[in-house]
Structure 1
Amino acid sequence: MPLAHHKRDFARADRLAVLIALAVVIGVLATLAAAVLLALIHLFTNLFYFGSWSFADRSPAEHTPGMWAAFIPILGGLIVGLIARFGSSQIRGHGIPEAIEAILYGKSRMSAKVAVLKPLASGIAIGSGGPFGAEGPIIMTGGALGSLLAQRVALTAAERKTMLVAGATAGMTAVFGTPVAAVLLAVELLLFEWRPRSFLPVALACAVAGFGRAALFGTEPLFALQTAAPDVTGLLSCLLAGLLSGALAAGLSTLLYRTEDLFSKLPVHWMWWPALAGIAVGIGGLIEPRALGVGYDVIGDLLHQHLALQVVVALLAVKAVIWVVALASGTSGGVLAPLLMLGAGLGVVLSHILPGGDATLWPLVCMAATLGATLGAPLTAIVFAFGVTHDAQALLPLLAATLTAHGFVALTMRRSIMTEKIARRGRHVFREYGVDPLERHHVDEIMSRQVQTVDGSAAVHDALATHFGATQLHRAYPVVDGETVLGFIDRQTLQGVGDDARQRVVRDVLAPAELNLALPTETCRQLASRLAAHGVERAAVVDDVRTRRLLGIVTRSDLLKPSASHFDDEHRRERF
């Protein structure tokens, strides 16, 4: 049997070089955007809480306590609401659902307003005490930069998606220093495909951002940690930690959207919701100031077990309440940092009862498990936890706990925190994907090789009598001149000629648009897409588009054959 040279592991990507060049530029832009966002957060934190024009990294918890501090989140929420109302409503939310919606339903087009207003609003929201992270806003901002650059170049919607995702994940890399986790986030949550034409540019943009972050912020991990390897009994502890983390993730997601429903019932415009949520944030800040802001320092304290159990419990309760209320109000902020803090806090509580491992292991394990279960991206969470700690000893327990948490949520919840908002807008996001059966098969595998043809020199009335009489077998037939296919003819076309022109030959009544050719080396997906785009039901398979020597014919029913085989693989149970 001759080697099938046209069958490849991956589809050709002739424009890959162009996409990679653009991805390099986007990686640089996203890194600069991340630096600007972090600087804005630091600036507004100093302005709101310390009354100074400074870009120093300070936490709201460091300010001198006072009742007046409860009004700062209200002021920040009011400003963010005004920006969203009169600037762009697209800045509302935590960024990732908005990016997914732009990818799936907006042809990956985002506006320049988002690129400017999202980091500004997020800087104000977080700087005024909002209990958010910087990763959601930078994902939205980086994605907007990638989309804007792609819109200035002649790209397809699929290529534009690659640029959007490249910007989003490069921004995440610049904030956390986790390029591999960012690439996995693209694969698990944003790209909705696994192709070199999209994966390679995204990965390269993340690599560029990783080097850029090292130049701007250094190479040290965000939360350097080294735990001891767990013993065999630690496996059961990992499973329990995973189940409880999954329950926490499910509970937070459910509570968030129920709170959002309550906001939607308020008799005031949504512009005022962030300010109203600021009341809860301000009160929570008086109770536990460490719950305010990004809280990377607090996450580090939790991972290193530097906080007393009573403090951790209070911190968990306050952080969960103010984060849910603030995020449900539609203000601008990310979800990763709050989830890291809540998950790590759960781990601190469990470290007092779970056997089989280092006490500092469980905050890390629960942090990753909660993150992976909430996002629906377990591999991202595992590699992310390693990236921010460089703790290789924890990889095995991270794997066991995070996948347990992910399985719990996948079985108990219909949607994740990332997709629920999109579903509430009437748009369904299906997170599972595999190799399309139509991509796996080529035209030469499904085409009909024994083809009945109509001679182009035959008279119209003869063709009607021979092929479209009582013994008609097919709706249409290919018309040939020797071995060269000219087009397709059907009964309606021949009958429309009129009785006085029935002596004309068949080739004279063919319309050029009726000719649709396919090559045997094409995938069934390529052909199916073209048939759908042209609104036709069949194609002539030829050896070359110039000679048009007929090899066979493919109809829409032929294109169902790969799917029938796939259905059999999925549903037929067999015992051998």
Structure 2
Amino acid sequence: MARSHSSSHTHRDSVPVSPSLAQTLAENSPPVATGADRRLVWISVLAVVIGLVAGPVAKVLLELIHFFTQLFFYGHLSFEPATPAQHHLGAWVILIPVLGGLIIGLMARWGAKAIRGHGIPEAMEQVLLNQSRIPARITLWKPLSSAVSIGTGGPFGAEGPIIATGGALGSLLGQLLHVTAVERKTLLAAGAAGGMAAVFSAPFSAVLLAVELLLFEFRGRSMIPVALAAATATSVRYLLLGSDAVFPMAAVAPAAFQAMFGYALLGAVIGLLSVGVTRVLYWIEDGFERLPLHWMWWPALGGLAVGLVGYVAPATMGVGYELIQAILNAQMGLTALAFLCVMKFLSWSIALGSGTSGGTLAPLFIIGGAIGGCAGLIAAHYVPALLIDPRVAALVGMAAMFAGASRAFLTSVIFAIEVTHQPNALMPLLAGCALAYLVSSLWMRNTIMTEKITRRGVRVPDEYAADPLGQVTVAEVYTPDPVTLNVEDRLDKVRSWLLQGDRQSHHQGFPVLDGQGLLQGVVTRRDLMALDVEPDVEVQSLIQRAPVVVSIHHSLRDAADHMVRHGVGRLVVVEAANRKQVLGVLTRSDILKAHQRRLGEQDTRLRTFSLRGNR
């Protein structure tokens, strides 16, 4: 293995080149890239296991929410579905979320502080900073704390907590089996996708969510296990809860041409509103940070706001999936929708800003759906020629709010279709979510998912592009016919040649060939000029280890990674069939020059676009 030499050459640690040089050269060549291997099969099997577990875990979480709702609002020990909106507690209802906030604070203080927050941002942070290692205790504390939070009236959905719990399960399995960090990230994403798929019966959007918010890449080696986990979890959901749409709607007709303009405009407006929603949420969170109280007490203060709002508007308490159903089927009037939108936003933003355990998806869907529903009713009444369907407008509003706030564009579009089984809504969703994404990107740098961790100094990838180094082969940039040395060359003569300073002697490394012109090793200028070496020795004696090689068919990404693994700045380019046959040399400068050419082409296109725009 070639490495940088130390500054001292008193003890040279020379390693004789192995007689089986061909085998050593094969080992010192980058691995051949393959689309799939046994390791991928193994990770896929683990992902299926995670998917099998995610379904029952989602079911247990929903049952726990029902249990705590029955316990705190009705005094029953029951797992029957229940909603806080039908309580008969009167003003006493204000205290229920306060009690829940106190319990959450105690859980976070003495159990696991990481249960605080949305769930998804915390998982993103572990992926980016901690090699996808989520503490095992989160697997228990996150769903339990979320069930208490929602069961005591918290205005959150179950999807955020189950995504975080599924991710924790995947991470835990990866830690127990000692897989690589990349594989552990895949298992974490598989667990998160499995959790979302199990809750919403939305496997495709669950995969997209994992890609856009957790994997930060788009390649088969990560998506295949995630897809298998999502498909498995959805199948388990079908077995436990049925295969009906989560939010069924009466069939909608394809959007008329003129209606598309209305849906696109609605998406743009909601994109702007999503910026406001995000900024207000973090403004409230900053306000709690300035309070002269320990953070353990903040969820109780947030619970007080939930209770006060819930006393005025009981429908704002709890998961609110029945509200999404009513909004999407135009079962609420204009005044009711507007009131629900304001009250839900007020309750949710204060509660989440207080640091309690809860999610963002369902509240954003309700807020965006209510805005879209209002816009649809107004357009249908005052501008009937546009042929706007209030139900489709509500669906576009729901998806566009999430697209603008999270920038998970593809997830938003496909999710809206999967949970409603309305393929005819595809075009309005594409237009609305695209405009929401565009407007949000223009007005807000971070998202509701990344603002918190960005403030901690974490840089979150926001674009996924093909690796330019992976698109260029070594054959396109390497230096052919390199300057070489012979194994029998005397060191004193080589040093004299180096000191002459001609152009060919300026290289930092030289392949060493035998009498037949076959590669035997590499020596560096530093080796040749070392003071502790006798000048009458042959160059062959300076070869310390087998050379690190690459073929002309490898990509520059393969070559760059190979350089890093072996700690070298140059690779000998050899024939793929005969690794002793030298073709040339590839240096770090060659790789940088290729990258520079790509940047030059990009800058040229930008300048051309700019000049055309100025005409």
Instruction: Name 1:384's counterpart in structure 2.
Output: 415
Q: Separation in 2 of the partners of 1:432 and 1:301? A: 36
- The SS at the match of 2:506 is coil
Q: TM-score, normalised by structure 1?
A: 0.95
1:333 alignment counterpart: 358
1: distance between equivalents of 2:549 and 2:540?
17
C-alpha separation between the residues in 2 aligned to 1:468 and 1:24? 64
Pick the aligned partner of 1:252 from 255, 277, 293. Answer: 277
Give the direction of change, closer, same or farther, for the CA distance of 1:469–1:329 in structure 2 (3 Å limit): farther
Match of 2:140 among 85, 103, 116: 116
Partner of 1:324: 349
Contact 2:513 2:521 in 1 (8 A): yes
Counterpart AA for 2:586? V
Q: Write the letter of the residue equivalent to 1:572.
A: T
Equivalence for 1:35:
59
| Aligned counterpart, 2:227 | 203
Structure 1 residue 315: deviation in Å? 1.3
- Provide the residue aligned with 1:288 in structure 2: 313
What is the identity, as a one-letter code, of the residue corresponding to 1:487?
G
Asked whether the 8 Å contact 2:132–2:184 carries over to 1, the reply is yes
Output the CA distance in 2 between the equivalents of 1:360 and 1:158: 42
Deviation at 1:110, TM superposition (A): 1.2
Alpha-carbon distance in structure 1 between the residues aligned to 2:598 and 2:37: 26
Q: Residues 154-233 of structure 1 correspond to what in structure 2 (within 5 A)? A: 154-225=178-249, 226-233=251-258
Q: In structure 1, list runs of 5 or more residues that go unmatched.
A: 1-5
* CA shift for structure 1 position 329: 1.4
Distance 1:29 1:405 in 2: 35
Instruction: Kindly provide the CA deviation profile for residues 525-553 of structure 1, in whole angstroms up to 9, marking residues without a partner as x.
Output: 12212322333211112235985332221
Who is 2:160 aligned against? Answer: 136
Q: Which residue of 2 aligns with 1:473?
A: 506
Report whether the alignment pairs 1:523 with 2:555: yes
Measure, in 2, the Cα distance between the counterparts of 1:186 and 1:9: 24
Matched, 1:306 2:340: no
Aligned position for 1:503: 536
Mapped to 2, the partners of 1:98 and 1:274 lie a distance apart of 18
Query: Which shifted more, 349-358 or 67-76?
Result: 349-358
Query: Offset of 1:372 from its aligned partner?
Result: 1.3
In structure 1, the partner of 2:76 is 52
Deviations 1:126-165 (A, max 9, x none): 1111111111111110011111111222421111111110
The aligned residue for residue 366 of structure 1 is 397
Q: Structure 1 stretch 357-366 or stretch 165-174: which is displaced more?
A: 357-366
Deviates most, 165-174 or 341-350? 341-350
Contact 1:172-1:182 within 8 A present in 2 as well = yes
Tell me, yes or no, if structure 1 residue 537 matches structure 2 residue 569: yes
Q: Verify the 8 A CA contact 1:256 1:324 in the aligned structure 2.
A: yes
Deviation at 1:564, TM superposition (A): 2.4
Aligned partner of 2:96: which letter?
I
Query: What letter matches 1:33 in structure 2?
Result: V
Q: Label 1:461 to 1:414 Cα distance change in 2 as closer, same or farther (>3 A).
A: same
- The amino acid of 1:250's aligned partner reads V
Contact 1:517 1:545 in 2 (8 A): no
Give distance in 1, aligned partners of 2:362 and 2:601: 42
Secondary structure class of the residue paired with 1:352: helix
Give 2:597's aligned residue.
565
Q: Tell me if structure 2 keeps the 8 A contact 1:231–1:356.
A: yes
| 1:81-120, Cα deviation, whole Å (9 max, x unpaired) | 1111111111111111111111121111111101111000
Match of 1:275 in 2: 300
Aligned length: 569
Q: 1:545 to 1:326 in 2, by over 3 A?
A: farther
Q: Deviations over 1:240-263 (max 9, x none)?
A: 211121122111101011111111
Q: Which residue of 2 aligns with 1:403?
A: 434
SS of 1:112 mapped into structure 2: coil
Partner of 2:460: 429
Counterparts of 2:517 and 2:98 in 1: how far apart (Å)?
78
More deviation in 40-49 or 528-537? 528-537
Mapped to 1, the partners of 2:373 and 2:454 lie a distance apart of: 34
Secondary structure (helix, strand or coil) at the match of 1:551 reads strand
Q: Distance in 2 between matches of 1:379 and 1:356?
A: 26
Q: Is 1:81–1:271's contact at 8 Å kept on the other side of the alignment? A: yes
- Pick one of 490, 493, 499 that aligns with 2:524: 490
CA distance in 1, matches of 2:258, 2:150: 41
For 2:583, what is the secondary structure of its paired residue?
Answer: strand
User: Following superposition, which runs of at least 4 residues in structure 1 exceed 6 angstroms of deviation?
Assistant: 6-10
Rounded Cα–Cα distance in structure 1 between residues aligned with 2:67 and 2:597: 60
Cα deviation for residue 460 of structure 1 reads 1.3
SS in 2 for 1:502: coil
| C-alpha contact 1:437 1:562 (8 A) present in aligned 2 | no
**Within 2, Cα distance between the matches of 1:9 and 1:224?**
45
Question: In structure 2, how many angstroms separate the alpha carbons of the residues matched to 1:36 and 1:131?
Answer: 19
Q: What residue number does 2:14 align with?
A: none
Question: Per-residue deviation at 1:123?
Answer: 0.4
Is residue 128–residue 458 contact of structure 2 (8 Å, CA) maintained in 1? no
CA distance in 1, matches of 2:593, 2:37: 27
| Partner of residue 126, structure 2 | 102
Matches of 2:585 and 2:390, distance apart in 1: 67
* Alignment root-mean-square deviation, CA: 2.0
Alpha-carbon shift at residue 381 of structure 1 (Å):
0.8
Counterpart residue type for residue 519 of structure 1: S
Asked whether the 8 Å contact 1:65–1:286 carries over to 2, the reply is no
Q: Deviations over 1:477-536 (max 9, x none)?
A: 22222433333323322222437x1111112122227x3222333221122123223332
The answer for the alignment partner of 2:20 in structure 1 is none
For the residue of structure 2 that corresponds to 1:557, the secondary structure is: helix
Secondary structure of 2:257 counterpart: coil
The corresponding residue for 2:475 is: 444
Answer whether contact 1:485 1:540 (CA < 8 A) is retained.
Answer: no
Q: Deviations over 1:211-258 (max 9, x none)?
A: 111001101101111223332221221122111211221111010111
The CA distance in 1 between the partners of 2:513 and 2:551, in whole Å, is 17
Separation (CA, whole Å) in 1 of partners of 2:38 and 2:307: 55
| Corresponding position of 1:3 | none
Letter paired with 2:535:
R
* Secondary structure, counterpart of 1:434 in structure 2: coil
State the alpha-carbon separation in 1 of the partners of residues 542 and 458 from structure 2.
46
How far apart, CA to CA, are the structure 1 residues paired with 2:602 and 2:72? 58
Show the counterpart of 2:489.
458
CA contact (8 A) 2:373 2:394 kept: yes
Write the distance in 2 (CA, Å) between the matches of 1:545 and 1:417.
Answer: 53
Structure-2 change in CA distance of 1:10 and 1:260 (3 Å): farther
1:276 CA drift (Å): 1.1
The answer to whether the 8 A contact 2:73-2:89 is kept is no
C-alpha contact (below 8 Å) 1:497/1:509 kept by paired residues:
no
Aligned partners of 2:110 and 2:559: how far apart in 1?
Answer: 47
**Per-residue CA distance 1:173-223 (angstroms, 9 max, x = gap):** 000000111111122222111111111111111110111110011011011
Distance 1:269 1:487, change over 3 A: farther
What TM-score do the two structures reach when normalised by structure 2? 0.89
AA at the equivalent of 2:506: L
1:393/1:452 CA distance change after superposition, 3 Å? same
| Cα distance in 2 for residues equivalent to 1:38 and 1:184 | 23
Displacement of 1:333 in angstroms is: 1.0
Report the CA distance shift for 1:53/1:545 in structure 2 as closer, same or farther (over 3 A).
farther
Identical-pair percentage: 43
C-alpha separation in 2, matches of 1:545 and 1:116: 55
Residue equivalent to 1:82: 106
Measured in 1, the distance between the counterparts of 2:362 and 2:273 equals 15
Contact 1:224/1:388, CA 8 A, preserved across alignment: yes
